[in-house]
A and B are shown apart, each in its own frame.
Chain A
Amino acid sequence: MSKEWIGKTSNKVKNTVDRLLVKRFAESIGDLHPIFVDEKYGEKSKYGVNIAPPTFPRVFDYGVLEGVELPMKGLIHGEETYQYERPLLIGEEVYCYTIIQDYYEKKGKSGDMGFVVIKRVGEDAKGEIIFTEIQNVIITEAVRRGINA
């Protein structure tokens, strides 16, 4: 990881809030509520359609950050934030991309640690933001050595 990666932005990828993926996701967090999975319930709801759980954007594809290689192993997920303008609707298309928002290092008890702030955004077809995710990831020294090697 390096400071040069701050500001790097991925390509935008079109994702669909797929009914079956939402059902599988809701089941995996033990939340098979009819607002997510029952089509008739969704039609009668204020949304006119089923919605997705707030942490569902985990499943989306956010494109590729050219030249940025985050390690696959040894990362510690520190913090996670979702901000929404409205819930995600089943069947809608969401355009997703990611930005490396920040990177900094701190001295820790077990060596230097790197902190990456990753922002992920989902927009509608008009480019209006539906949700923003901010993920704080910690890279421990052992892993950082591996990257720089």
Chain B
Amino acid sequence: MKTMTEFKPGETLEVTLPPVSRLDLIKYAGASGDFNPIHTIDEEAKKAGLPGIIAHGMWTMGNLGKLFTPFFEEGFIKEYKVRFAGMVFLDDILTLKAELLEASGNDLFFNVKAVKQNDQEVVRGNVHFRRYHAV
């Protein structure tokens, strides 16, 4: 595996998730304590005017963050900022992407996004990764 030092601007990290399942969202509700029923119960989602249950935005953000987990011995996420741009429904297939924009000493700045099977960007934002040791 590459280290953060070896990343060059324009290089990417990418992973595609299995289709979103109800169990994924039930697990996230339980683990996070976010029991808003629009994420787990069809009738409640419909009452809220949605076609079906939607993923917690924070579930998608949490998944997107894992692109950086293999690098936590080298450094840490200093800032992680996202905008929730679209809804994620059951059976959607998300691809998570990070692209290095700029590296300045120990600071690496990435664009990150989660994209659906139809190319819709549902989450987009930035990660500032800080390395522990001088380059």
**Which residues in A have some Cβ–Cβ distance to B below 8 Å?**
21, 24-25, 27-31, 33, 35-36, 45-46, 51, 53-55, 58-59, 72-74, 76-84, 86-87
Q: Are A31 and B78 in contact (CB under 8 A)?
A: no
Q: Are B59 and A29 in contact (CB under 8 A)?
A: yes
Q: Considering only CB atoms, which chain B residue lies closest to A82 in the complex? A: B80
Q: Which of A46, A80, A83, A84 has the most CB of B within 10 A?
A: A80
Is B109 at the interface (CB under 8 A from chain A)?
no
What residues of A have a CB within 8 angstroms of the CB of B30 in the complex? 24, 28
Given contacts A28-B24, A29-B28, A77-B84, 13 further A-B contacts (CB under 8 A): A24-B27, A25-B31, A28-B32, A30-B63, A31-B62, A45-B73, A58-B62, A76-B84, A78-B84, A82-B80, A82-B81, A83-B79, A87-B76
Q: How far is the CA of A30 from the CA of B31 in the complex (A)?
A: 12
Is B51 at the interface (CB under 8 A from chain A)?
no
Q: How far is the CA of A80 from the CA of B123 in the complex (A)?
A: 10
Q: Are A81 and B81 in contact (CB under 8 A)?
A: yes
Among B32, B33, B57, B69, which residue has its beta carbon within 8 angstroms of that of A80? Answer: B57
Q: Which of B40-87 contact A (CB under 8 A)?
A: 48, 57-59, 61-63, 65-66, 68-70, 72-73, 76-84
